[in-house]
């Protein structure tokens, strides 16, 4: 792979290799690691099913079980999607590598490096944020054990669990094995979400860099000629036409526009491939986010008298909202950057172009008239407006569930 791709995306490669979805790693690891991780996740769903059987009719237990199941389904859906679409994911990486070859001017390389550096920082900060939040979350069941040592009472404090589940064993006797499994399961779930989210964001940022590079090139078409013209101080209409005829004999603008059109086509193909890789799973995740936010809000109200539980569900809600924003903001950024191509082409010095250059400009304007967008389920446009709509819908479901309580 290109040395720039290796440099800027090394952290993403490291994370993806840990869950067995890096397209270029050994085939045995690509089979064994996802199977092992999925087995742990499905065992967690099984404990929730047993819990519902044991406590059928208990609304609080049902709500908590729904929250736990939703979090498992989110991570498992992401993992299965990237496994099923691993060949498309490999093509995304290959196209990314090829773009570093085709976008080879100094300004284009600078733009690609700028966005790649942003992607690397996002991966670092997003990982740090997720692991800090869930480290605090994992400490909750250990607080009573620590307090028994620091501030002992006449009797031991009640045992705390990360989440409710039925394991068909004596929970007090096997408390620490159950707690260890819960630690591992939650770390795996959150790691899968974080790893695939950051790679998704990196791919979108790379697409934004392509559109930005094209916009920058369009913005500078004809500027050199205009500067020469201003320096010669030939301001009459006759002199201007003589100047155009002199400096446009080779029609450099035509070649520049042709290069922009070809590179714009590369960017459009990359967006189409990115959409086909993530569109269905994104639609499912939006639905799960709505359900997750609704039931978490209900559970916060149920646990208002218990500070520890309120903190636990507040951490969960913060994680869900962060995940939703990380799904929607890249889509908004892509729409904005792709719209800039039309703006820069429209504001170009078209009056200095030859007839065939103007025809190329018309084609480019037509292709960039509608901004590119990421889609969920091929019909829902991912943007910050969608983020707002999802949160409003979640609030509506929350009030409906509250009225049924």
pLDDT digits (tens, 9 = 90+) for 64-98: 788 888 888 889 999 999 999 999 999 999 999 99
Structure token pair of residue 395: 């609030």
Alpha-carbon distance of 33 to 35, in angstroms, equals 5
DSSP helix/strand/coil, 318: helix
Contact predicate 279/376, CB 8 Å: yes
Q: What pLDDT is stored for residue 243 in this prediction?
A: 46
* pLDDT at 120 > cutoff 80: yes
Radius of gyration of the chain (CA): 27
For the beta carbon of residue 109, count every other beta carbon within 10 angstroms: 14
DSSP helix/strand/coil, 124: helix
Structure token pair of residue 305: 């008298």
Q: How many residues does the chain have?
A: 405
Label the pairing between strands 380-381 and 375-376: antiparallel
DSSP helix/strand/coil, 380: strand
Alpha-carbon distance of 355 to 69, in angstroms, equals 62
Q: What pLDDT is stored for residue 223 in this prediction?
A: 63
DSSP helix/strand/coil, 153: coil
* Bridge partners (DSSP) listed for residue 375: 381
Structure token pair of residue 114: 């700028």
* Bridge partners (DSSP) listed for residue 381: 375
For the beta carbon of residue 9, count every other beta carbon within 10 angstroms: 24
DSSP helix/strand/coil, 376: strand
Task: Give the residue with greater pLDDT, 385 vs 313.
Answer: 385
* pLDDT at 240 > cutoff 80: no
Structure token pair of residue 45: 């769903």
Q: What is the pLDDT of residues 205-230, one digit of tens each?
A: 999 999 999 999 988 886 644 444 44
Q: Give the confidence band of 1 by pLDDT, cuts at 50, 70, 90.
A: low
Closest by CA position to 327, among listed 398, 391, 264, 269: 391
DSSP helix/strand/coil, 23: coil
Lowest mean pLDDT among 155-159, 239-243, 292-296: 239-243
Phi, psi of 308, rounded to the nearest 5 degrees? -60, -45
DSSP 220: T
pTM: 0.86
Structure token pair of residue 188: 């795996």
Closest by CA position to 167, among listed 156, 175, 159, 157: 175
């Amino acid at each position: 792979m290109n040395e720039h791709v290796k440099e800027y995306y090394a952290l993403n490669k490291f994370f993806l290799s840990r869950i067995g979805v890096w397209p270029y790693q050994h085939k045995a690891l690509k089979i064994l690691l996802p199977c092992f991780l999925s087995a742990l996740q499905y065992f967690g769903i099984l404990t929730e099913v047993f819990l519902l059987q044991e406590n059928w009719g208990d609304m609080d237990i049902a709500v908590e079980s729904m929250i736990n199941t939703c979090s498992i389904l989110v991570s498992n859906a992401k993992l299965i999607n990237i496994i099923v679409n691993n060949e498309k994911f490999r093509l995304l990486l290959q196209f990314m590598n090829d773009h570093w070859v085709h976008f080879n001017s100094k300004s284009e390389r600078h733009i690609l490096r700028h966005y790649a550096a942003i992607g690397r920082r996002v991966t670092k900060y997003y990982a740090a944020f997720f692991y800090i939040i869930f480290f605090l979350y994992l400490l909750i069941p250990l607080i009573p054990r620590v307090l028994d040592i620091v501030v002992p009472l006449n009797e031991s404090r009640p045992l705390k669990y990360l989440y409710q589940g039925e394991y068909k064993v004596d929970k007090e006797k096997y408390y620490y094995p159950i707690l260890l499994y819960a630690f591992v399961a939650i770390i795996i779930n959150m790691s899968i979400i974080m790893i695939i989210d950051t790679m998704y964001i990196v791919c979108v940022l790379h697409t934004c860099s392509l559109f930005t590079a094209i916009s920058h090139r369009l913005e500078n078409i004809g500027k050199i000629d205009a500067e020469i013209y201003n320096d010669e101080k030939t301001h009459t209409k006759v002199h201007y036409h003589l100047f155009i005829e002199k400096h446009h004999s080779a029609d450099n603008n035509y070649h520049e526009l042709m290069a922009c059109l070809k590179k714009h086509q590369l960017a459009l193909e990359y967006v189409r491939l990115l959409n086909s890789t993530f569109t269905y799973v994104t639609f499912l995740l939006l639905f799960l986010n709505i359900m997750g936010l609704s039931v978490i809000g209900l559970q916060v109200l149920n646990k208002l008298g218990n500070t520890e539980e309120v903190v636990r569900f507040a951490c969960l809600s913060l994680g869900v909202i962060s995940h939703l924003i990380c799904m929607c903001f890249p889509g908004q950024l892509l729409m904005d950057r792709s719209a800039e191509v039309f703006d820069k082409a429209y504001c170009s010095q078209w009056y200095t172009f030859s007839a065939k250059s103007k025809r190329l400009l018309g084609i480019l304007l037509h292709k960039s008239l509608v901004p590119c967008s990421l889609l969920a389920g091929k019909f829902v446009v991912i943007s910050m407006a969608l983020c707002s709509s999802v949160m409003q819908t979640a609030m509506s479901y929350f009030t409906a569930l509250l009225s049924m309580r």
